[in-house]
Amino acid sequence: MIFRADSGYYANRVFEYLEAQGAQYVVSARGVFFPKLEPEEIRWGKAQKGIQYGEFDYLCDHGQIMRRFVVKRDHTRGAQVRLDGLWDTDVVVVTNKKGGPKSIIRFYHDRGTAEQYIAEGKQGFGFAKLPSRKYLVNRIDFACKLMAMGLLIAYREAVLPPSMRKHRPSTVRNLFVNVGAKLVRRSGQTVLRLTKALRHREVWDVILARLGLPPPAPAPVS
């Protein structure tokens, strides 16, 4: 198990508990000062395109164990030097996870993917709304919302072009679900007839092709 969290979980008791459970962790140390840290104690790697990674060991939160800290510094950004020698724009995490500083920071920033899905669930599927005061009703409601979100994400990844796979659920619904269309059977085929005002008609051609269906028929001329 790997525990990844923001600075709200920065506490020696949290680290000790995770270590006792045999878990790895990467926790943000944003806002944490290191008064006994000397600049030469940070083991910096070579800067590439203005980005530099480093690491140092420190006795954190009045504990008795030296823990590993990883730092990312962006030299292209303006920053102020703190009293402990770090910059106010540095990304600092504490970790017991194996790997180089760059891979540790990259793993920490991957948390944004999970946060994106949570935001999509709240905005597009009403995750934050409870329909009842009964636990079972809310559990079933949330399970249905999760399934609906899973289907939409699967649809987005399977049939939409790469440039549209990051669209929010509401955008996908407005463009490709809540549209005026009609199924027409002719000559032994089922054809999807779309409205003339439809946006992204060329994307519909790609979607139907991936689903093994014929291209949409043009709207009848009135």
**pLDDT number for residue 197:** 67
Least confident of 84-93, 110-119, 133-142, 158-167: 110-119
Q: What secondary structure letter does DSSP report for 65?
A: S
Q: Distance between CA 117 and CA 208 in Å, rounded?
A: 26
- Backbone Cα Rg of the chain: 26
Provide the residue ranges of all domains of the chain, joining segments of one domain with +. 2-109, 114-173, 179-222
3-class state of residue 50 by DSSP:
coil
- At 216, is the pLDDT very low, low, confident or very high (cuts 50, 70, 90)? low
| Residue type at 216 in one-letter notation | P
27-73 residue pLDDT tens: 999 888 888 888 889 999 998 988 999 999 998 767 678 999 999 99
- The structure tokens listed for 213 are 């269906």
Contact criterion met (CB below 8 Å) for 25 and 97: yes
**pLDDT number for residue 211:** 72
**pLDDT number for residue 217:** 60
15-36 residue pLDDT tens: 999 999 999 999 999 888 888 8
5-14 residue pLDDT tens: 888 889 888 9
Express as a percent the part of the chain with pLDDT over 70: 91
Helices marked H in the chain: 12-20, 101-109, 111-125, 135-159, 169-176, 201-210
